[in-house]
């Protein structure tokens, strides 16, 4: 059992006008084997949370702590976070020209496990994971993220998730830009990883539709850079019906 614990996290983003505070005291505890959804209006700081966990240099932690089984995540390099078992999709470079998907996956797997995977089983695992995600085998020879469509990027993300076998995954807007079929295939991949390895998931989303496929145990509503309300799956249903209006009434200025 592993635990990711976020305590009173404050984060500012680097802008031309100087640092701008975005996260204002985030508290969140996620156990492995649990699925948590973070939902919230646009601009509430959801992606900022994801980037902060990934160690993106533009996001400066100004207060609070993030620990993984008691270890200080904020003190870890991006690679150390991955080796500790955190999967943060956005920690990887956007495009890696000249590096094939297949080589990239094997290099990442080797870096995370500390040894190269046995070739025979690895090739079989990659093939089978790609088939599960309905990915053409030619995809393995393409350059990472070069000319990937939105759907291909998401599938590639879930392919990594299934092969690298992290303990925790932070998935930001995994549903964006996917048609219904792709959404179902990608969601099934997340569910498989959750069931097979007890993957803990922090699923960040604006819309409720992905929650029809990936069932969260806990739902957190994110407003103005912090968690404004928490509940079970019923909270997502309520948001589906009512939207975010009741959380925004006090901050409407125009």
Contacting positions for ligand ADP (CB under 6 A): 13, 15, 20, 22, 40, 42-48, 58
With respect to ligand ADP, which residue has the nearer C-beta, 6 or 163?
A: 6
Quick one: what does residue 96 bind among ligand ADP, Mg ion, none, with the CB cut-off 5 to 8 Å set by partner type?
none
Quick one: what does residue 44 bind among Mg ion, ligand ADP, none, with the CB cut-off 5 to 8 Å set by partner type?
ligand ADP
With respect to ligand ADP, which residue has the nearer C-beta, 40 or 64?
A: 40
With respect to Mg ion, which residue has the nearer C-beta, 112 or 193?
A: 193
Are 131 and 159 in contact by the 8 Å Cβ rule? The answer is: no
The least distance separating ligand ADP from the CB of residue 141, rounded to whole angstroms, comes to 33
Give the DSSP letter string of 82-127.
HHHTEEEGGGS-S-EEEEEHHHHHHHHHHHHHSSPPPHHHHHHHHH
Q: How far is CA 78 from CA 12, 23, 155, 193, 194, in A?
A: 19, 20, 22, 22, 23
Quick one: what does residue 145 bind among Mg ion, ligand ADP, none, with the CB cut-off 5 to 8 Å set by partner type?
none
Whole-angstrom distance, CA of residue 114 vs CA of residue 229:
40
Whole-angstrom distance, CA of residue 184 vs CA of residue 175:
10
Give the DSSP letter string of 47-88.
HHHHHHHHT-TTEEEEEEEEEETTEEGGGS-HHHHHHHTEEE
Quick one: what does residue 212 bind among Mg ion, ligand ADP, none, with the CB cut-off 5 to 8 Å set by partner type?
none
With respect to Mg ion, which residue has the nearer C-beta, 46 or 106?
A: 46
Quick one: what does residue 45 bind among Mg ion, ligand ADP, none, with the CB cut-off 5 to 8 Å set by partner type?
ligand ADP
The least distance separating Mg ion from the CB of residue 200, rounded to whole angstroms, comes to 9
Whole-angstrom distance, CA of residue 235 vs CA of residue 81:
31
Quick one: what does residue 159 bind among ligand ADP, Mg ion, none, with the CB cut-off 5 to 8 Å set by partner type?
none
The least distance separating ligand ADP from the CB of residue 18, rounded to whole angstroms, comes to 11
The least distance separating ligand ADP from the CB of residue 175, rounded to whole angstroms, comes to 13
Size of the site for Mg ion (CB under 5 A): 2
The tally of CA atoms less than 13 A away on the side-chain side of residue 129 is 26
The least distance separating ligand ADP from the CB of residue 204, rounded to whole angstroms, comes to 7
The least distance separating ligand ADP from the CB of residue 144, rounded to whole angstroms, comes to 23
Whole-angstrom distance, CA of residue 112 vs CA of residue 80:
9
| Residue 17 neighbours by CB distance under 10 Å | 6
Quick one: what does residue 253 bind among ligand ADP, Mg ion, none, with the CB cut-off 5 to 8 Å set by partner type?
none
Burial of 13: CB neighbours in 10 Å, binned 0-12, 13-18, 19+:
middle
With respect to Mg ion, which residue has the nearer C-beta, 2 or 47?
A: 47
Site for Mg ion in 39-58 (CB under 5 A): 46-47
Binding site for Mg ion (CB under 5 A): 46-47
């Amino acid at each position: 059992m592993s635990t990711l614990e976020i305590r009173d996290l404050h984060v500012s983003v680097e802008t031309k006008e100087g640092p701008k505070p975005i996260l204002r005291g985030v508290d969140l505890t996620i156990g492995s084997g649990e699925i948590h959804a973070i939902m919230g209006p646009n601009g509430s700081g959801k992606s900022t949370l994801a980037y902060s966990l990934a160690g993106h240099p533009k996001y400066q932690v100004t207060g609070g702590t993030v620990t993984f089984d008691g270890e200080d995540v904020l003190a870890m390099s991006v690679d150390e976070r991955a080796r500790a078992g955190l999967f943060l999709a956005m920690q990887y470079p956007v495009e890696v020209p000249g590096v094939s998907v297949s080589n990239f996956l094997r290099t990442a797997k080797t870096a995370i496990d500390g040894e190269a995977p046995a070739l025979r089983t690895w090739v079989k695992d990659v093939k089978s994971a790609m088939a599960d995600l309905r990915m053409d085998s030619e995809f393995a020879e393409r350059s990472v993220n070069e000319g990937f469509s939105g759907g291909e990027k998401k599938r590639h993300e879930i392919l990594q998730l299934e092969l690298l076998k992290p303990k925790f995954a932070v998935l930001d807007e995994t549903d964006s830009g996917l048609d219904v079929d792709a959404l179902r295939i990608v969601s099934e991949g997340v569910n498989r990883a959750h069931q097979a390895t007890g993957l803990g998931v922090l699923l960040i989303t604006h819309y409720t539709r992905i929650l029809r496929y990936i069932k969260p145990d806990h739902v957190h509503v994110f407003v103005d850079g912090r968690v404004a309300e928490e509940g079970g799956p019923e909270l997502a249903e309520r948001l589906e019906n009512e939207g975010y209006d009741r959380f925004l009434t006090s901050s409407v200025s125009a």
